[in-house]
Amino acid sequence: MEKVTKKELAEALAEEYGYSKKESLELVNSLFKKIEDTLAAGNTVDVSGFGKFVVKERAARQGINPATGEKVKIAASKAPAFRPAKALKESVK
């Protein structure tokens, strides 16, 4: 399984569209920052044909410390999540 880095994504953009590597990296960073800022504000990013970046809310709950068996309260929290579009799911199959 191969991993693609942010730098490699930027290099691919530079190659395909004729941007400099620096410009492409700035575009990629800007895109990810916009997604981050939108999620931090509690909103959703919907990329048609790709998927949705959403904020999931986790309710407060009771947990158990596995080392001591002691019950602990776990606070409510929010976490980013990704829901792939049907087209993306189909292309990965």
Spatial distance between the Cα atoms of 91 and 81, rounded to a whole number of angstroms: 20
Q: For residue 67, give the 3-state DSSP assignment.
A: coil
Scanning the chain, the segments in alpha helix (DSSP H) are: 6-17, 21-40, 86-92
27 — alpha (psi -120 to 50), left (phi > 0) or beta? alpha
pTM: 0.81
**Which helix (H) or strand (E) is 49 found in, with range?**
none
In tens, the pLDDT along 27-67 reads 999 999 999 999 999 999 999 999 999 999 999 999 999 99
In tens, the pLDDT along 11-35 reads 999 999 999 999 999 999 999 999 9
* Bridge partner residues of 71 (DSSP): 64
